[in-house]
Structure 1
Amino acid sequence: MRKEPPMKLRLCLFVSICSFVLTIVGCATPPGRITADLPGRYIPLTRPIIAVGDTQEHNATGFPLHQEDGAVDTYVEVAQRPPEQPLFGRRFLEWAIQKHPDMPLLHLGDVVDMSCQSEWQRMRRIFDTGEQAKVILPGNHDGLLFGIFNHDLLTDYLNGDVLEWQRGCRQTSEADDAPPSSDGKGPALNKRMFLQKYIEFLATGPHSHFGLKSPQRTKELKDIQLAWVNPDQDGFVEKVDANLVFGRNYATSFIVQKLRVPPEPDAPRRVTIVGIDTSQLSVAIGVLNMLTGDSPGDTGRILDGQARIIEAYVQEAQRAGEIVIFAGHHSWRQLDMGSRNRLAKIMEGVDNPLVYISAHTHEGWWAMHHVGNRSLLELNVSSLADWPIAYRRIGFAYDPAAKRIKVSADLMPMLQSPPRTDQEILDAWVQQTCTEVDVPIEKISQRELATVKAQRDSRGTLVDWAFSSFEGISDAARLDLYEHAHSYIDGLLDVIMSTHGDLGGQVSELEEVVVPSFCVAGSVKSCAAALLTMQHSDLPASIESYRKKALFAYTVGEQWDDIQDPRAKAYMTCRAAIAAKDDFDMTPEDKRPGTTEDRRRSRDFFRVEATVGMD
């Protein structure tokens, strides 16, 4: 039996737990209100691009962690999302890619959630669909556990050699106490590793024949600086500068990208987006900050080295007479003061109106800020993980006489016109996805309501969770954790069963899904049903049962990702959208990740264009 942690350490853990839940809840910062637009003669400068944010692909089949326990979800609504989200949520991004095949895609960060290799691999499959260029601006979840923790925080000491990050990302076919390899590699994905994976994606995408070099071809155990200029004058990615830091300072790694927005024919000026990495975390920000309620991931940071490259990009664009737009994961007010000051100094030299595009809040809004004596227009894009599930189709126009920029940003998906209510957003998803399969929408809606309600009703209390965490790694605490994990993964099995029940006669690829060898009955539905009836009265039995359920869900999910039948893809997107809205509706107003519809309306969420001048 392992030695229990000392009382002082347990007290620190309890404080950090409270800080953890408080800082996640406090993600959104109220923006400044936007003023009425001024009329003008705006010349279209660009064709549209698609902007999405916060997909937060989640590994739901690793070993359970306290940070994702159902009890936490009673307080932090994003700790556990509906079972449909980890199974189907990535289909939102796939749908957007396939719906707009001729538009470059800008992902504003938080591609993954826990930052696991498996999460990236699933999203990489989605990014590989479609021929358009795709760019990622890293978010705080892209390289930090849950977007907050790096791997030498308090939990590591409680677990000895076992890193919770590795444990949560490890598939259950492995032992839950297996240490990472000696070189630090494992199923988790830190910031340096995430950037490396992303650059490998760029190097094998539309730009591969222009010689973008993957850092994997360079010896890994050292810092890597990468600078690349695209010789294709029409390429969406014009330049890339990255610093991949090896060792303990990995979270200071960054990537800056200069993007060419596709121009309209005869546009008088080109538009450049400077893609910023707002998720640089210095080692000095860690346990002490968390204990005082300062979440490392909730605050955006741009350190000096990156700022110098941003400044060089801006100066280069200005010399070429280009309009400069800024974009990054964190909203403007969520950048720390030093970062805002660095950017403000750079923005002083920009001779066009200031525009910043962001994500992170999961809300979506327009805002007007003041940077020195000038206005800064911000468009914040909502998420594809929490309601409102939406994205933007963005274009830019310019009035040279008034020196004003118009940002057009259609709220998507839409039917005949951009949605003006949450119900219209849901209708747009439902009418373009649910109708693709021969399953009554009423049947799907009733089932999603029951599934989401069951998941929410199965959660424990935050007090029970806190005190089981207080007990550290005792058998009683682990049993309680696994019992809560069973409730959630049973929801995944139920969704898997109903999917095969609904589509079994329509989608032949589902009949080809192979179940794990421990399934006595050969079909997906019968194996899931058998797993749901397994008894587990003690800790070893509970762990064994959970491992089988998790491996089954993982195995089926991996094969689902290879299904090409558009009816199956549409069905999965449909269920994820309805479940997200149901979860939102069942959530108390003060805990909704995407805040209330009325509050979003007051922040111009449903607005589709805005202008800004030089004042």
Structure 2
Amino acid sequence: MQRTLCSYSRLALLSCLLGLIGLIGLSGCASFAPQPAPDVEPASNYVELTTPIVALGDTQEHEPTGWPLYDNDSAVDAYVEVAQRPPEQPLFGRRIMEWALQAHPEENFLHLGDVLDMSCRSEAQRMSKVFNAAGRAGAILPGNHDGLMFGIYGYSILDDVLNRDAQKWNQACRRGASLEDKAHKTENEAFSKRDFIQMYLSGQAAVPSQPGIKLPPAKGKHRVSWRNPNTAAFLSGIEAHVLDGYAYADSFLAQRLQLPAAPGAKRRVIVIGLDTNQAGALVSSWDTLMGRSPGSIGHVNLDQIRAVSHWVSEAKRDGDLIVFAGHHNWRGLGLPSRLLLRGLMAELDHPLVYLSAHTHRGFWAAHRELDPRPVLELNVSSLSDWPIAYRRVSFAYDEVANRIQVRGELMPHGEQPVQSDADLLAAWEAQTCGTLGVPVEDIREVDHALVRKQRESRGNVVKWLLSRFGPECKDCDSDLYEHAHVYQDAMLDAILQVKAFLNADTRALIRTEFPAWCSGSNFVECISALKAEQPADHAAKVDLFRRKAKLVDLLGGHLDDLTEPRAKAYMTCRAVQAAKLDFDATEETRNENRSEAKRRAERFFLTEASVGMR
């Protein structure tokens, strides 16, 4: 999902400035038209083809402790929602995905992209731990945040010395921000699209049941074409092409997934997981000139279509059903990409289904533009912004009618399916907050105070514009560091609250070996002293910010060591509550069409739909 309005070229900055002024003046003028609904379900005789898989997306793990940037400063957040999320999200947000995966330990999973947010190496390392702990086969499709800074721009990080903006990306990813920590101050903290593909392939190659995956070299063009010799495996094939230099964002990672068969199923269901993020230099420049943020529009190039076409031919030969999947929603794909995909889909003689993420709202739609043959789309919602939800997806087929039914159980839920946002929140609370022996109202009150403080501390957009687009000068970023202090303080408050609520469950947290400047202090004293310190000048303000960021990074890392079920439930509860409270505090005209009424108009609460050939 698009997180900011700006990329960093001077042309783009001018465009961004004009766009932001227009946004301020014209907020709420954009109209909303619900996407076309799936067909009314006809009488059919469906046969189960697969058992469920967990489908989720847009976790957007965020690195909050690097050098502060204007792009996710609180002043920007006042006008571009979710540029800065509540402090609970970077501290506890990954626990939501952990909860979703561990709630269904026997089911394969498909993450539909945007694992990361700024695309930092630290973000990838934290999320890798969660995926590895799942203990079963799964797949991740690249999202626009997985290799592009804030999901919008792919700088050449090879030109770090000369490219001021690439330096900013790398600095923003230098966790802890303290100068003495050399381990996290390398020139490779920014995580490019090539880095994402390489780390992902390395993780899949380490799985014993997936032999033969050959990893690409560190530099140069390289193709990976792999087929799993285990014919029953979930991840059954990979086609990848990695590039470097300015072209690295044109790299792609496509995957063939074989869904687990239902008992007695006579046809297999194959998911072709596409990489909808081939946003290379040419594409990014064109998007910028057209007033779009690179990354907000999905792109699938001809080289990727050719690379996966043999999977389609093979499925047609073997009588398998093909389901397509990609990070960007169908209408979020550029017209050339949709034309290419329509051409590929035309080879199939069964109905068409597409799974997606990216919108953060979730919906069902049937698309007939470009071709009268409909494409049924299930778009999963986000695990970083409300509505926090995921799906359990399975497929059934009516051979006579040549009709596919997609079942997308909305999760979590209670004894009955979720029918409203209130039901969805209640389900989360019952499974997480409700297991703690603490009144949910007490936790909600704490989160409400933090969310309110973060929103009320937003800076002035005029100052932001003057600082961001004006001439460079000494101490011009003073306001930026002022806002950064407030955010670090809020995260330190949240960490203190973990100890207050969980007490004995936080031994790994309170036994932390503190930095030298906190030597002799206990957990509470160290945090309190930093928060009470008053810097005398700008240099002292920057130094204090870096020490706060160092402590947040240190303690935040130890939050992942809290593995007791009660601790997991508590952190999941807080992340969900904060997302809902932040959503409720956002004007409906500025919530990216995520209001309950608009989602209901696009059938968010629907749990199954079907599609035929017409």
TM-score normalised by structure 2 residue count: 0.93
Q: Please say which of residues 497-506 and 106-115 is displaced more in the overlay.
A: 497-506
CA drift at 1:509: 3.2
Secondary structure of the residue aligned to 1:397 is strand
Secondary structure of the residue aligned to 1:128 is helix
- Residues in 2 aligned to 1:493 and 1:27: alpha-carbon distance in whole angstroms: 40
8 Å Cα contact 1:21-1:75 kept in structure 2: no
2:548 maps to 549
Q: How does 1:312-351 map to 2 (within 5 A)?
A: 312-351=310-349
1:280-301 per-residue CA deviation (whole Å, 9 max, x = no partner) reads 0121133564254121101110
2:214 maps to 213
2:477 maps to 478
- Residues in 1 aligned to 2:341 and 2:17: alpha-carbon distance in whole angstroms: 33
2:500 maps to 501
Letter in structure 2 aligned against 1:96 = A
8 Å Cα contact 1:501-1:525 kept in structure 2: no
1:17-49 per-residue CA deviation (whole Å, 9 max, x = no partner) reads 555898999999953222311120100000000
- Residues in 2 aligned to 1:507 and 1:61: alpha-carbon distance in whole angstroms: 22
Letter in structure 2 aligned against 1:267 = A
CA drift at 1:576: 0.5
Where does structure 2 lack aligned partners over 5 or more consecutive residues?
A: 1-7
- Residues in 1 aligned to 2:398 and 2:257: alpha-carbon distance in whole angstroms: 22
CA drift at 1:472: 4.8
Change (3 A) 1:599 1:323: same
1:66-122 per-residue CA deviation (whole Å, 9 max, x = no partner) reads 100101111111100000000000001100111011111100000000000000000
The one of 128, 137, 140 aligned to 1:136: 140
- Residues in 1 aligned to 2:233 and 2:16: alpha-carbon distance in whole angstroms: 46
CA drift at 1:464: 1.9
TM-score normalised by structure 1 residue count: 0.92
- Residues in 2 aligned to 1:266 and 1:288: alpha-carbon distance in whole angstroms: 50
1:467 matched to 2:466? The reply is: yes
1:294-320 per-residue CA deviation (whole Å, 9 max, x = no partner) reads 211011101111011222211111111
8 Å Cα contact 2:357-2:380 kept in structure 1: yes
CA drift at 1:420: 0.8
8 Å Cα contact 1:496-1:525 kept in structure 2: no
8 Å Cα contact 1:259-1:273 kept in structure 2: yes
1:122 maps to 126
Aligned alpha-carbon RMSD (Å): 2.7
- Residues in 1 aligned to 2:304 and 2:344: alpha-carbon distance in whole angstroms: 12
2:302 maps to 304
- Residues in 2 aligned to 1:222 and 1:23: alpha-carbon distance in whole angstroms: 41
Secondary structure of the residue aligned to 2:432 is helix
Matched residue pairs, number? Answer: 600
- Residues in 1 aligned to 2:285 and 2:540: alpha-carbon distance in whole angstroms: 35
CA drift at 1:415: 1.4
1:489 maps to 488
1:574 matched to 2:576? The reply is: no
The one of 262, 265, 268 aligned to 1:264: 262
2:422 maps to 423
Secondary structure of the residue aligned to 2:220 is coil
- Residues in 2 aligned to 1:21 and 1:229: alpha-carbon distance in whole angstroms: 51
- Residues in 1 aligned to 2:23 and 2:121: alpha-carbon distance in whole angstroms: 25
Secondary structure of the residue aligned to 1:163 is helix
Letter in structure 1 aligned against 2:499 = H
8 Å Cα contact 2:364-2:604 kept in structure 1: yes
1:106 maps to 110
Change (3 A) 1:532 1:255: same
1:592 maps to 591
Runs of 4 or more consecutive aligned structure 1 residues displaced over 6 Å after TM superposition: 8-11, 20-29, 155-159
2:450 maps to 451
Letter in structure 1 aligned against 2:112 = L
Percent identity reads 44
2:353 maps to 355
Q: How does 1:139-150 map to 2 (within 5 A)?
A: 139-150=143-154
- Residues in 1 aligned to 2:129 and 2:137: alpha-carbon distance in whole angstroms: 14
Letter in structure 2 aligned against 1:391 = Y
8 Å Cα contact 1:307-1:343 kept in structure 2: yes
8 Å Cα contact 1:21-1:76 kept in structure 2: no
Letter in structure 2 aligned against 1:228 = W
8 Å Cα contact 2:226-2:237 kept in structure 1: yes
8 Å Cα contact 2:156-2:166 kept in structure 1: no
Q: How does 1:135-214 map to 2 (within 5 A)?
A: 135-151=139-155, 160=164, 163-175=167-179, 185-205=187-207, 207-208=209-210, 210-214=211-215
